[in-house]
Structure 1
């Protein structure tokens, strides 16, 4: 008896279908690609319940004869390629595997109607669970209509992993939007239930297509990309990109098309974002529609079962060309400037060889080990507003002239003029020890509940508080510390029922089609956060109230970013997580920045406020607030254990 056996045909079909059909959006992608390949001038997509109950794709393309229709639903049947030579020479069409209709039919109830131009009647096939159950002659318009019902009805294990209706429709919207933008000469419409989400005119006008999909505001702020001067594998780079100020918190609006195929090419997306240089914050992304024309033989579209990813033979060359084309488009439109200071020549690039830093010899082995003090959260933070400590040199203590303001926490001080710092000798890394005194003149040694007892020595680079403890040396990042304090104070104000503030004039936000579709599912969470929103039109969201604690620091535009979280496919995120993410970002803005001189008293106040925090060891984004260099580590670094030393 052998333990190895051949699987039956039904099991094989369902396994294969699982590789091609992941969710309703996978079905829509395959069917829309077939319609484009069929030369359609119009494609209408209608879905119900996010595509889980019903998907219908109609086109006016070339259609199929009854014999071709019968073959089309069988395994590995395609009109796109003939043999391995076609595959290795590059695939010019969008579909080519010959698995789409067969795979879809294996996990759904599939109906296909089609009529060739000039034919008197059409043909219809009904497939259920991979088996053709009915074939007949019918009257139908020229072109092809595919109806998919009860997706995964016979694979319950797959069906239960589908997300909410809103999330599944979000993915469908992305696919149809992508192909509508890629094919401005095809009229494409998307309908969810009985509501049309968008419809393009099909006149070949890319900006018109963008307006239909993303709205007038986005379309008006798009810049054409027209070719590249960089040598490389791409024959051409075209499309449109947005003004730097027209951006979103998700990269999904960066659409990439390779020879007309909509793909999620991370390398291309990264190249587009890099072209904006410092014009975009680290967590913001532009709108973009990028067309790449490349020799099919130099790009592999066969690396993913659902044809979502591609591999370039010369990825570095492609990256240079895309980055150069987008950068040139922004420069030509006057939207990108160099990072050189105004009124000064751009400094020549300085080469830094290994072992050198700031003009000082730094042996590779000369590193000081430090450790975070019990930071119980992890993560990363992008602080574009802070300068690296190595970019500045410490100066003499500033005169204590800062006065407390009634509206500003005691430790908030104005940044010092760095003109004096730039002339300070580079060898001076620490400020002179600050003399701290209490009202009665005694030397304070504040006792903390969570932080170690410490004696503050001064500041390093006007960015880190340096203090002595019984166990060694402690460094406190003043920005991260103040950010933690602000975060916990904001969170305390949000605890329980949120007090809302009604806006004197409601604010109307222009949404993309996808954002508008997500606005209703998002309204409940938005209400719990204190935002009252109402859809007043197909693409307009009216914000009438905002949470009172944020009224002065954040406006209704914040609603758009929160809706973007839903567009990322996570509508079930908890209110607590949404609040923490929101408050973590808000806490950053008023916090002390790097390169800010603090007086003795303000340092003490900051440390006391930090000690009162629930978690004083990490900022809201997960960066460490306090690090410690232990006494033993310091002694080891100075080799105080050499023989003969007592």
Structure 2
């Protein structure tokens, strides 16, 4: 580094402002969030959000709130000005407003061209102020209705590096849609209208009925499935209000779990986990319910300033609050007959049922139990059915998790590595049987295409399974551990990709299936119709309803039309320049999750061998389609180092 570069100097105010703006304004949805919060704090009864090109070209948020006079609007766009905070004591007590009006406008204006048109209630005339890159360009009288309208154009025009990292327009609008949805659900007494490229996406009634708001945003099917939270379990929360869905109305991600603290939307793993755990075994491991929950918390017991955008909170009694939420939601589901207090012995979901010999037990524990409790460690909630499917398991048996055991496995049993063939004999014989000889995968002559330049797995000898999730193998130079879900996912992904390289294999439905979408899903369907058709979903949309006529024929089985919803949610990731083919490839990776064997699934010896053989036949056997490793290797050198076999004096004995 040159001496000139090493010199410490103060940044100019313009650079400081742009850096500070980047901490709050990450994308168009960040702008919408700040402006909607301002409108709510201004006492608006109606808020209209208009965006063009996902918000990358234009954002306009108009409200009928108290408005501002000329002097106020001039101050509002200056740094460190606000109408919502007087001194530091209000920070210590917990802020009762949603944001800082002046600070947000100044920050947004630093990285865009901004126009504010506003008129105070009862005022004779309005004011129009324009701002570009943080500098006021004009402030003049204007005719306008009471309230405030803020229009933002050319977002990040003066920070091209940040603009370059924006996602595709549908993805950016999906984030905008999510933000507006969350504030609409939190404020059923306010009428929200969301428009994209001149089309209305949804509008709420603003009549104060939360279930009516759910109907406007999520549709009739979801609204009918929601049950109210009535009553409150003992704990530190003052109240919990809202709705949760029945266990049959779910999605593949947690997007539709909306949680609020004192009316402010927040992200909280503790709250989300409590809601999910309340369903127990009635909810599949890869599914999440709909939920709209508002927690009433004493202001002094929650810290809302742990995140720059105040979307995360820290509770003083997190464990107690988590338990209280779980008990309250569970009680609501029980009262509506939507979950059982405990699963009947011997019952399981149809896709979990299997025919396999059961261990001989004198105490009768082999009669069958429920599948065990749901927890966050269940293969990281890996998507997919519990059953073993696909060619990696063709013609093999497997046992269901914990089959023959009573309830949850004890800590000792969980820590053991069991040999795969333990399922076919008494437990003690299986646990202490010798290593199983694994097929050799190292020679290039084993492939149908011997000249193909593929990665290969090393020669392996299967030792067993750890926690019914990882296959443990011995290699010549150490240990190899295989994540069975990630491995099977890679196998399915490459098979799907090979099928789509030719003519897409589809299955025509005997009767077209009509599926109701949420407002978010309907918007995504329009953006990704071509990609879905390429994948094998032939469907047409009318309003919020899609009519599906064909589905992908994956793994010799027609994929359920309901998977269309999951595919839509999977579309939103990706880079701005991605082609239809790139989008389809991402969808294939997600679809490969659904039939892949999950963690906590005991495999027979044959299915382990088949899985490793299929993985060895992949172009890239070392990563799942999402980039997660399938194989971890611990070489001999690392083992010797970890066991400190090089300590002084040991070398002589080794010789």
Category of TM-score, reference length = shorter chain: 0.7 to 0.9
* Residue 383 of structure 1: how far off its partner (Å): 7.5
Query: Aligned to 2:11, what secondary structure does the other structure show?
Result: coil
Residues 115/471 of structure 1: CA separation in 2 closer, same or farther (3 Å cut):
closer
* Residue 97 of structure 1: how far off its partner (Å): 6.9
Partner Cα distance (2:146, 2:509) in 1: 54
* Residue 176 of structure 1: how far off its partner (Å): 0.7
Superposed counterparts of 1:239-254, under 5 Å: 239-254=242-257
Q: Do structure 1's residue 23 and structure 2's residue 27 form an aligned pair?
A: yes
Partner Cα distance (2:339, 2:495) in 1: 38
**Alignment equivalent of 1:412, drawn from 376, 383, 396:** 396
* Residue 180 of structure 1: how far off its partner (Å): 0.4
Superposed counterparts of 1:472-621, under 5 Å: 489-535=495-541, 537-549=542-554, 552-567=557-572, 572=578, 574-588=583-597, 594=602
Q: Residue in 2 aligned with 1:63?
A: 67
Partner Cα distance (1:522, 1:583) in 2: 19
Residues 330/446 of structure 1: CA separation in 2 closer, same or farther (3 Å cut):
closer
User: Could you say what the CA RMSD is over the residues aligned between the two structures, in angstroms?
Assistant: 4.6
* Residue 579 of structure 1: how far off its partner (Å): 1.8
Residues 425/220 of structure 1: CA separation in 2 closer, same or farther (3 Å cut):
same
Q: Residue in 2 aligned with 1:370?
A: none
Q: Do structure 1's residue 300 and structure 2's residue 308 form an aligned pair?
A: no
CA contact (8 A) 1:511 1:539 kept: yes
Number of residue pairs matched?
577
* Residue 203 of structure 1: how far off its partner (Å): 0.7
Partner Cα distance (1:435, 1:61) in 2: 73
Partner Cα distance (2:54, 2:460) in 1: 59
Residues 273/96 of structure 1: CA separation in 2 closer, same or farther (3 Å cut):
same
Partner Cα distance (2:315, 2:175) in 1: 25
CA contact (8 A) 1:479 1:592 kept: no
Q: Residue in 2 aligned with 1:399?
A: none
Q: Once the two structures are superposed, what CA deviation does each residue of 1:476-530 show, in whole Å capped at 9, x if it has no partner?
A: 9999988876665555434333233433433222111111111122223222222
Partner Cα distance (1:479, 1:51) in 2: 38
* Residue 292 of structure 1: how far off its partner (Å): 1.3
Partner Cα distance (1:513, 1:424) in 2: 53
Q: Residue in 1 aligned with 2:147?
A: 143
CA contact (8 A) 2:423 2:430 kept: no
Query: Aligned to 1:585, what secondary structure does the other structure show?
Result: coil
Partner Cα distance (1:127, 1:408) in 2: 61
Q: Do structure 1's residue 258 and structure 2's residue 266 form an aligned pair?
A: no
* Residue 425 of structure 1: how far off its partner (Å): 6.5
Query: Aligned to 1:429, what secondary structure does the other structure show?
Result: helix
* Residue 619 of structure 1: how far off its partner (Å): 8.0
Q: Residue in 2 aligned with 1:284?
A: 287
Q: Once the two structures are superposed, what CA deviation does each residue of 1:329-372 show, in whole Å capped at 9, x if it has no partner?
A: 2222222224454389xxxxxxxxxxxxxxxxxxxxxxxxxxxx
Q: Residue in 2 aligned with 1:404?
A: none
* Residue 46 of structure 1: how far off its partner (Å): 0.9
Bigger mean CA offset, 445-454 vs 55-64: 445-454
Superposed counterparts of 1:112-191, under 5 Å: 112-191=116-195
Partner Cα distance (1:475, 1:10) in 2: 52
Bigger mean CA offset, 450-459 vs 283-292: 450-459
Residues 66/219 of structure 1: CA separation in 2 closer, same or farther (3 Å cut):
same
Q: Do structure 1's residue 77 and structure 2's residue 81 form an aligned pair?
A: yes
Q: Residue in 2 aligned with 1:363?
A: none
Bigger mean CA offset, 328-337 vs 2-11: 2-11
* Residue 274 of structure 1: how far off its partner (Å): 2.2
Q: Structure 1: where are the runs of 5+ without partners?
A: 345-377, 388-406, 437-443
Residues 408/86 of structure 1: CA separation in 2 closer, same or farther (3 Å cut):
closer
Partner Cα distance (2:97, 2:261) in 1: 11
CA contact (8 A) 1:113 1:123 kept: yes
Q: Residue in 1 aligned with 2:429?
A: 428
* Residue 117 of structure 1: how far off its partner (Å): 2.1
Partner Cα distance (1:41, 1:467) in 2: 64
Bigger mean CA offset, 553-562 vs 205-214: 553-562
Q: Residue in 2 aligned with 1:313?
A: 316
TM-score by length of 1: 0.75
* Residue 191 of structure 1: how far off its partner (Å): 0.6
Partner Cα distance (1:154, 1:628) in 2: 49
Residues 626/97 of structure 1: CA separation in 2 closer, same or farther (3 Å cut):
closer
Residues 335/148 of structure 1: CA separation in 2 closer, same or farther (3 Å cut):
same
* Residue 473 of structure 1: how far off its partner (Å): 11
CA contact (8 A) 2:489 2:592 kept: no
Partner Cα distance (1:534, 1:324) in 2: 42
Q: Structure 2: where are the runs of 5+ without partners?
A: 348-378, 406-421, 447-455, 644-649
Q: Once the two structures are superposed, what CA deviation does each residue of 1:57-88 show, in whole Å capped at 9, x if it has no partner?
A: 11111122222222212111111111111121
